[in-house]
Amino acid sequence: MLSAAFLVQALLATAAFAIPSGKERMASRRSRRSDVTRQSKPVNLITNPQTTNVSHVEYSENWAGAVLVASTATYKAVTGTFTVPTPKSTGGSSEQCASAWVGIDGDTCDSAILQTGIDFCVTGSSVSYDGWYEFYVTDDFSGISFSAGDSVTVTATVISTTEGTLTIENNSKGTTVSTTVSSSSKLCEYNAEWIVEDFEECGSTCELVPFANFGTVEFTGAEATTSSGTVTPAAATLIDIEQNSVLTSVSVSGSSVTVSYV
């Protein structure tokens, strides 16, 4: 007969073997993404929100944050620094995610969007992070990793209406990745934004991923570059996510944009 101690050790060994590492979870997620496409989409505004809050101009099903809006080509770059959060599940066993990013266009100009940021996902108690960039084609950055509590700076820079540079700096780990991308979709340079998003995954259809409780993401040092200098998001339009109920609370103070899950 097997001893109780042996059985306990066997169970612990089996449990340890069954728990995937962060790298394994990311590999599994990227493998799953071979069958689906991760994409950010232009802001999907709600024309008749269930909640009216005079401190927020707009509600959306997928964006929460701050957007600077111009009527002519204005914004050449956008940057912000935030602390990588620890996402928490809101219930159930499925993967839940959110994404923090900065970008050019995608609001009043929906013909293109130049953006970069970090996805943070949770399944049960397992958390994973993924740095990415998009100019209407999304790809993952390699050569950089993230942990909860890391200070990260994300920057999108316009080279031309069809080309831009996207950069992520992990200030805590001392690593930087950058890429220059081009697209046949043309930027308007009307919008600069600091956003937490409920992004889409697309297979035969596109659906928003289950939205994780991301806690709070505060973009500090938030600036947008124009031909005449830099501006802060102080005059930005604020957007909250509403999905049956309002899920976020956004505020702006000087060069900081704070987005909280509520």
Catalytic positions are: 197
Sequence letter at residue 255 = S
| Dihedral (CA of 208, 40, 78, 237) sign | negative
Quickly list H helices, the chain. 4-18, 22-33
Q: Give Cα separations from 111 to 7, 39, 163, 257, 261 (angstroms).
A: 61, 15, 14, 25, 29
Do 130 and 227 contact (CB within 8 A), yes or no? no
Whole-angstrom CA distances from 3 to 15, 17, 19, 163 are: 18, 21, 25, 66
What is the rounded CA–CA span in Å between residue 219 and residue 224? 12
Sequence-distant (≥ 6) Cβ neighbours of residue 134 within 8 angstroms: 39, 40, 113, 114, 115, 116
**Residues in a beta bridge with 163:** 160, 182
